[in-house]
Chains A and B, each alone.
Chain A
Amino acid sequence: QKEVEQNSGPLSVPEGAIASLNCTYSDRGSQSFFWYRQYSGKSPELIMFIYSNGDKEDGRFTAQLNKASQYVSLLIRDSQPSDSATYLCAVKGSGGSNYKLTFGKGTLLTVNP
């Protein structure tokens, strides 16, 4: 069974701080990794994806991937109250049905003004 694990939180950070969200996955053959943000009662929206080891930056967001450790993280710099949401880590696996994603349970982030 392919699994994606996240700390459920809640993770609470003050406004302006760096929020660090972590995710581990069990399928060593996983190809691509995604971070989605989901506000309460809404559907997920894609923040960014990463498929190579190392860092990928997009504005205030940085995704980090370490395939050897089967670990992916998301850093949010200068956190804002509007960043308060549940962050879902998703992994695209190996094998058939290449587009299928497996989601973690999400980490609830609260940014305090």
Chain B
Amino acid sequence: GAVVSQHPSRVICKSGTSVKIECRSLDFQATTMFWYRQFPKQSLMLMATSNEGSKATYEQGVEKDKFLINHASLTLSTLTVTSAHPEDSSFYICSASVSSYEQYFGPGTRLTVT
């Protein structure tokens, strides 16, 4: 099956700093990548949809200036959490779309802001 990687898998940062998370599709070209956030015992909440070469589409309530998304190629999308605060601590998961029927998830990045 399609493989999606994320880096880093875990990051701890101080409040006010920025963190970049990379999402790569390893064996396929993804036309669309998605960024989700999951708080403990909650479901996945879509943050934004990212298409290569164009601006990301953010979901309602997600601050685009705080969560910067860059989709530079068909295999790489990055999410930068700017000026992170403790309430941004969460499990961030990307996914890549192979077709309209399938979406494959990366292993996730656990962010802790102290």
Name A's B-contacting residues (CB within 8 A).
32, 34, 36, 42-46, 49, 51, 88, 92, 97-106
Residues of B close to A51: CB separation below 8 A: 101
Complex contact A43–B34 (CB within 8 A): no
Give chain B nearest CB distance to A25 CB in angstroms. 14
Contact A46 B102 (CB under 8 A): yes
Q: A46-B103, A99-B49 are in contact. List 5 more A-B contacts (CB 8 A).
A: A36-B105, A46-B104, A99-B32, A101-B34, A101-B103
Q: Using a Cβ–Cβ cut-off of 8 Å, how many residues does chain B contribute to the interface with A?
A: 21
B68 CB, nearest partner CB in chain A, Å:
20
The answer to whether B72 has its CB under 8 Å from any CB of chain A is no
**Best-surrounded residue of B49, B101, B106 (most CB of chain A within 10 A):** B101
The interface stretch among B12-20, B40-48, B73-81 is B40-48
Q: Are A100 and B107 touching (Cβ within 8 A)?
A: no
Q: CB distance A44 to B102 under 8 Å?
A: no
Please, could you name 21 A-B residue pairs with CB atoms under 8 Å apart, sorted by A?
A32-B101, A42-B108, A43-B106, A44-B44, A44-B93, A44-B105, A46-B1, A46-B103, A46-B104, A46-B105, A49-B101, A88-B43, A97-B57, A99-B34, A99-B103, A100-B34, A100-B46, A101-B103, A103-B45, A104-B43, A105-B42
Q: Which A residues lie within 8 Å of B29 (CB)?
A: none
Complex contact A97–B44 (CB within 8 A)? no
Complex-state Cα separation, A97 to B107, whole angstroms: 24
Distance A51 CA – B100 CA, assembled complex (angstroms): 11
In the assembled complex, how far is the CB of residue A3 from the closest CB belonging to chain B, in whole angstroms? 11
Most B CB atoms within 10 A — which of A43, A45, A98, A100? A43
